Structures are given as C-alpha cells and as structure tokens.
Chain A
Amino acid sequence: MPDERFPGLRRRGFLTATGAATLGALALTGCGGSGNKGQDDKGGTPKRGGRLRAAFAGGGAGETLDPHLSNLFVDVARAKALFDKLADYGADLSARPRLAAKWESNKTLDRWRVTLREATFHDGKPVTAQDVLYSYRRIADPKKAFRAKASLEPIDLDASRATGRRSIEFVLKRPTAEFPNVLAAFGAYIVPEHASDFDKKPIGSGPFRFVSFAPGRSAVFRRYDDYWDGAPHLDELEFVVANEESARVNALLGGQVEYAHELNPTTARAHEGKGQIEIVRLRNSAMQAFCMKTDRPPFDDKRVRQAFFLITDRKELVDGALSGAGEIGNDLFGKGYEYYADSLPQRHQDLDKARALLKQAGAEKLKVTLDTSAVAAGFTEAAGIFRDQAAKAGVTLDVKMGSKDSYWSDTLDNGTLCCYRSGAMPIDAHISQRLLTDSATNATKWKHKDFDALYQQAQSTRDKTERAAVYARMQHRLYAEGGFLIWGFADWILGTARKVRGVEAKAPANSLDWARFDKVWLA
C-alpha cells in the first residue's frame, strides 16, 4: 500500500491507540488566533436546527452499527450518537455518571449498587436494569470476542442482579475501587434487552435516532427529542466516510462537510488562523513511546533502561516525528489525567550520564534492534530520529520495518525495543492492561509481584487521597526504572467549518465530549 504517498490511508486508527487529552494548559500554550476567536464565537446562544455532516476515516463495506463491535473512531462516534454508557470519561479520564445516576459501593469495594436515571430508548421503552444486564452479558459472551469483554472482567455477571427496575447490584470478583471506570469502558454501551441485529434499525437511548446507514459510506441520524440529557441542537447528523486525509480536508474546504476528524499537523499549520476553517487541537493526546522489554537483555538491566531515558531528546522527537504538534513526556502515562504524578522532575537528555550508566552495566558499544512500522503517524520518523540520538551515546540502533497490519501482535512478545503509542484511558486501566504480571498486553514485560500488590492495594483503598498516594508510588517506580520510555503526547487535530459551534476542545478521544454532536450547533 502506498503509504508514503498517502499517509491518510492509515485508516486503521484504533481508538484506544490514539486519543486526545487536554490540559488546563490549553489556555496558556499557543491557543492561536483561531482558538481565541472560537471562544468569542461560542459566547452565542445555541441555535436549533440544521444538518451537520462529519467526515471520518472508516472501515469500508464491513462497517457495522453494533456498538459492542466498535473499533474505529467512526464506529465510536456513531455508537455514542445512538447509544449511551452507564458512565463516561471526563477530560481527566475520571468516570462521570451518564445512564447511571449514581453508584455506591459496600465497605470492601466488591459490591456496587448502581441506580439508573430515567431514560427511554428511541422506541419509547424505559432503560431498565434488565437492559443493562443483557448488554453486559452480551459483551462478556465467551463465544464472542467483543473488545469491552476484558474491561468487564472484574464483574461476576452470574451473581450480579437487578434489585429493582432501575437499580442493579454488581458483584465483583475482587475489590475494585475504580469500578466506575469499568462502567465507562470502551464499547460498554447499553442496548435494549434481546437486541442483536443492529444493521436494520438499531434502537438506543442516545441523543440521535437512526435514519439510514450505508456501510463504509454514510450514516444519517435524526434528533431524539426525548433524550434524557436534553435534545440535541441539530436536526440531523450525517457521518460520511473519507479515508484519505486530503479528501477530508478538501471536503471541509469545499463546504461538503462541516466537521473533519483526524487531520495532519501540516494541514493544521496551513489553515490555522487563516479564517477559512477552524482548527481544533485536542492537546496532549496520544501517548508516544518506545517500549523496552524488561525481561531480556539488554533491558533486563535497569541501568540500560535509565541510560535510554537519558539518551532521549524529547523536544527533537516531538518537533520531528509529530511536526511539533504535541508536548514532551516524562516517561509516565496519562499526562493531565486523574492520579498523574506531575510532581516528578522533567527528564532531559544527558549523554554523559547515559554513557556512564551504560559503562557500569557493561553495555558499551551496545547494538539493539528497534522495531517500527507505518502503523501510526510518526512511528518511522521517531525511529529514525532516535537512532541518531542513540548514536551520540555510542549505541547502535538497527531500525527494522514491520508489517503494519500485524505490528501490535508481532511486537507484543518479540523483539527488545519497539515504537509504541496509546490513546486516552484512565491510568488504572493503563496499569491493569499493561503492567501487571497477568496483563494481556504487557508489552514491556513488566512483571513484579510487589508492583501487582501495590495495584491491588490501590483498588482496595476506599479513601481517594490514600489511593492517589499508592498510584504515586507506582508511578515513581515506573519513572525510575520502567520499560516505557514515554517521550511525548501528540495533539489530536480536528477541522470544522466556521459556522460550527460548541465543539469541545478539552476532550481526549475516548472521553465523553470528544466527537460529541448533541451539544454542537450551526450558527
């Protein structure tokens, strides 16, 4: 596939793999002319009516509206227009109640009582505890491979039950202090009981109701007037699929769509502040990293890992691999999210210290293979830049290009060093999915019983301040000697027509306000 010529054809933009976080820093760092203007304009009162067309990269003729099969950005954007989750993520990736009005746990944090708000599906039927249990059991079906299955794993669905029409008691397999995060998990949408065919006329409880769907081409939805969170301002919402980035930009410039998702930094620079379209940057979004396998040479020696932390010139990587559209990282996941350890000093390149550490470890003239692939924007560029940086410390990196369709699977257990990225998710999810002994995608092979124990301790700690302290301890350890060399956080870039209002900029992908169209209006 001609990827160098057509970077936009990387349409497999997996949602959890990218994403966007915004910090309060948005107001401080280069908001730019368009950002300020946008805020002035947003002062107006929302106007009702009109049709908004939104262009996304899509999944071709195989696309489906089954919310539990959501995989791509466009899948989730459509799913959240038609359906709701019990909870969803705020800008700091903490869970906010949605269909669930409230939740409370027992003392030991292994039983949670969730009360649903009064909401109705598009056919007028109320959303009940039975619908919730049906949806979760469908996701957890061992014969299926729904993505959210792993997230719902803490729930013992056989023991969980409806205690009323709108109340559910979830029985958990172990104490889970962050249980609300489970309710907000990727793809954990609530569908009506017994729903299984979503191609014909899917019924949800979301802000828009179904009108028509042509897989890989377009989906048209109409306002649901009885939406529990207030009816959307738009009359109609149409999702159109344009896999090529240039096609999305051109359609936006030519007035064929009003919203274009996933733009390149160069496009953003070309149009930012020019007045033709608005560029929205969801700052500090996708985590960008190199992943060191800590269970094998040379990275089984923590001094080598520490040397690699110090070899890295993060600014150069952000400027080169991300075209400057991003912020530097500090080897910790989740900048700006709840529990992020922002008190740790920012790490900088220190080649002398790196060389000394390598010498101590007996790893002078080290040779390592760095796996990369065109699977994500900036990967191959980052690999090239890092190779040059490592050479300055006497380390030879041999950059190896892999297939982009199987990259994640290829690099999970093989190799020693690879390019890595991740989208927004709560820090506890990052730890449980990637950093525990039994984690399914433990790409750094970080397996430490005491670290596992700290995680269990955090999940069993009721008090939030105490819990934050445990998370801080875990992050200190990762900062000192972890396997993730997290060098940056990329912006996530959207383009909108000038008349579009109400697009939230403090909204990491995967969070509630990202690609949320019920609060958007046309001026």
Chain B
Amino acid sequence: MRGLRSLVARRLLLGIVQTTAVVLLIFALTEALPGDAAVALAGDQPDSARIEAIRKAMHLDRPAPERLIEWVTGLLHGDLGTSLTSGRPVSSYLTGGFGPTLLLATLTVALLVPLGFGLGILAARHAGGLIDRLVSSMTLAVYAVPEFALGVLLVTVLALRLGWLPPTAVGYGTDLLAHPAALVLPVLVLLSRPVCSLTRLVRAGMIDALASPYVAQARRYGISGARIHLTHALPGALAPAAQHLARTIDWLLCGVIVVEALYTIPGLGTVLLNAVAERDVPVVQGLAVLFGVLTVVLNLGADLVAHRLAPRAGVAA
C-alpha cells in the first residue's frame, strides 16, 4: 500500500510539472504564431494606428514575460484571468463549454463500455468463428471511416432523408438534455471509432489470456467456461483496455472539434478553436491548464485501475 501511495504522489508531482510545461509551451507557441489578438481583431482593416490602439487597450504592448508572470500569479490565486477580446473571465468560457462536453463524454462512455467489452468478449469467445469474423471486419470497416465523413453521412441519411432526428443542435445552447434527440447523432459519431478499437483490444487481450497457462490450469480444474472468461481471462484483458478508455475519455473531454462543429454543439472544442483564431491567449492558456489537469488525472486513474487488475504487469511511472 505504501508503494501505491508514493506512486500516486510521484505521478501527481509529475502531472504538475507536465501541466506547467504544457502551459509554458502553449504560451510560447501562441506568442510565436504570426499576428496577435490585435492583428486578428483588426482583420481586413489592418490600419496600423488602430492595431496599436487595440494592442494598448488589451495591454498587449507590455512584454510577454510580464504578461505571463501576471497570469501565473493570478492562477496561483485561482484566477484564470480575463479574455482579451471580450474582457469576460476565462473561467466563464471554461464552465460554459464544459457542460455540453461533459454531457457528450458521459453519454458516449456510458454506451462505449458495455458495447466495447460486450463485443470484444463475444468475439473472443467465438475466436475464429463466424461471429468473430463478422465483429472483426465490421469494427475494422467502421474504424476506417473518418468521423467527419461518418457525421455527414449520418446527417444526410437519418436526419435529412428519413427525418428521424434533428440534423444539428443549433439554438439549443447548453440545454442539450432537454433535446435528447439532438444528441443521438453526435454520440453515434463519437462512439464509432472508440467502440471499434476497444472491441479489438478486449478481443485480443482475451484471446491472449485464454491461451495462457493459468487459464489452461483453470480449465484442468474443471472451472466452467463462463467463469473462466469473466473472472480469469477478462481481468488480464482489462488492463490495456482501461488505459485505452482513459485516453478516449481524455479525447472526449479535451475538445472534439469536428463533431462540435458539425452538430453545432458549443463545447470546449469550439471554445478552443475560436480562442486560437482570435489569439485570445488567456483563454487558450486556461484551456491548456484544464486539459493538462484532466489528462494527468485520467491517466493516473487508468494506471491505478491497471495496477489493481494486473499487478504483475507493473506500472510505468
């Protein structure tokens, strides 16, 4: 247990270092981008006097390190700063975008886990058989379709041709739960590729485990097939799947730009896209912190789960 606690402490410390590095890198990269918020805002009226005035109004005329230090000082007090373009607090950007993102991610994961594991176990049980070949080829085929293509296809068929579902979530804002039909298509698109990869991972892990000496030994004891599958083989296959799942959740939470744009869902991906285009550095940095923290926490969680399920595999810190 002591080992586990020091592992968690080490990982958290590393996580803080990683997040700091990400924030610094993002700041440096945003500074290195051609043009700043003033240039982006001036757009096709690049009147140099006006750009200077905007820069001054945004306090962009101060040196970059000074702005960074001020922002970091604020962050230590829990203040993420204010947007350059609107003057609104960055935290309002994050909370506004997080709701729809979290909703989509939760729904997707809630469907992903039973589907991915179910199909994976099913395929592994019939390894080499018709069902296995069917599942394997289907998952490969769906995985090969890029999400934007699938998204457009689903809208065209299910929403516009058949009229079963609304094509977008436009105008619903953050109140997406009140319009569950509008969530079907985005969740389907988000689900499509992770389900395939998770299924294939679980299947492969199960087949490996089923061929292992300890399963053979369990069989010799006369333990029933179902019990062998679920209590002996599955945990071995779960460890890689848990890490894969963590990465998927991370992807879902850190902005699914394509799906948000296609279905007009105002989540974090949209916030990020706008902030980068407007060179709204404080918002980009706020997102970097949020994404950094999420990634660190999720990966730590996945490692702990893997550690619990397959202690022998060891955990790379």
A and B together in one complex: yes
CB proximity of B310 to chain A, nearest CB, Å? 38
Residues 142-169 of chain B, each 1 if its beta carbon lies under 8 Å from chain A, else 0: 0000001000100100011001001110
Q: Which of A218, A248, A250, A402: most chain B CB closer than 10 A?
A: A250
Q: A251-B168, A256-B166 are in contact. Are A403 and B34 (CB under 8 A)?
A: yes
* B50 touching A412, Cβ below 8 Å: no
Pick out which of these stretches binds chain B: A37-45, A116-124, A209-217. Answer: A209-217
- Considering only residues 92-110 of chain B, those with a C-beta below 8 Å from chain A are 92-93, 96-97
Asked whether any CB of chain B lies closer than 8 Å to the CB of A180, the reply is no
Asked whether any CB of chain B lies closer than 8 Å to the CB of A24, the reply is no
* B159 touching A150, Cβ below 8 Å: no
* B170 touching A216, Cβ below 8 Å: no
* B270 touching A410, Cβ below 8 Å: no
Residues 380-410 of chain A, each 1 if its beta carbon lies under 8 Å from chain B, else 0: 0000000000000000000000110110111
Q: How far is it, in angstroms, between the C-alpha of A216 and the C-alpha of B269 when the chains are bound?
A: 13
CB proximity of A216 to chain B, nearest CB, Å? 6
Residues 48-79 of chain A, each 1 if its beta carbon lies under 8 Å from chain B, else 0: 00000101000111111000000100000000
* A250 touching B167, Cβ below 8 Å: yes
Number of A-B contacts defined by CB within 8 Å: 172
CB proximity of A298 to chain B, nearest CB, Å? 24
CB proximity of B233 to chain A, nearest CB, Å? 41
Q: How far is it, in angstroms, between the C-alpha of A242 and the C-alpha of B167 when the chains are bound?
A: 12
Instruction: List, in ascending order, chain A residues with CB within 8 A of B168's CB.
Output: 242, 247, 250-251, 254, 256
Q: Which of A17, A142, A243, A248 is in CB contact (< 8 Å) with B43?
A: A17
* Number of chain B residues close to chain A: CB under 8 A: 57
Asked whether any CB of chain A lies closer than 8 Å to the CB of B135, the reply is no
* A244 touching B277, Cβ below 8 Å: no
Q: How far is it, in angstroms, between the C-alpha of A422 and the C-alpha of B167 when the chains are bound?
A: 33
CB-nearest residue of chain B relative to A6? B261
* B97 touching A406, Cβ below 8 Å: no
Q: How far is it, in angstroms, between the C-alpha of A387 and the C-alpha of B51 when the chains are bound?
A: 32
CB-nearest residue of chain B relative to A375? B44
CB proximity of A146 to chain B, nearest CB, Å? 9
Q: How far is it, in angstroms, between the C-alpha of A514 and the C-alpha of B170 when the chains are bound?
A: 22
Q: Which of A5, A240, A253 is in CB contact (< 8 Å) with B171?
A: A240
CB proximity of A427 to chain B, nearest CB, Å? 18
Q: How far is it, in angstroms, between the C-alpha of A227 and the C-alpha of B144 when the chains are bound?
A: 57
Instruction: List, in ascending order, chain B residues with CB within 8 A of A25's CB.
Output: none
CB-nearest residue of chain B relative to A240? B171
Q: Which of A147, A217, A253, A405 is in CB contact (< 8 Å) with B40?
A: A405
Asked whether any CB of chain B lies closer than 8 Å to the CB of A143, the reply is yes
Q: Which of A147, A214, A405: most chain B CB closer than 10 A?
A: A405
Asked whether any CB of chain B lies closer than 8 Å to the CB of A103, the reply is no
Asked whether any CB of chain A lies closer than 8 Å to the CB of B112, the reply is no
Instruction: List, in ascending order, chain B residues with CB within 8 A of A6's CB.
Output: 148, 258, 261
* A218 touching B33, Cβ below 8 Å: no
CB-nearest residue of chain B relative to A17? B44
In the complex, 17 of the A-B residue pairs with CB atoms within 8 angstroms, ordered by the A residue number, are A59-B278, A61-B96, A62-B85, A142-B53, A150-B50, A214-B174, A216-B274, A217-B266, A240-B170, A247-B262, A251-B170, A256-B168, A257-B171, A405-B277, A409-B42, A441-B45, A441-B46
Binding site for A on B (CB under 8 A): 33-35, 39-51, 53-54, 56-57, 83, 85-86, 88, 92-93, 96-97, 148, 152, 155, 159-160, 163, 166-168, 170-171, 173-174, 258, 261-264, 266, 270-271, 273-280
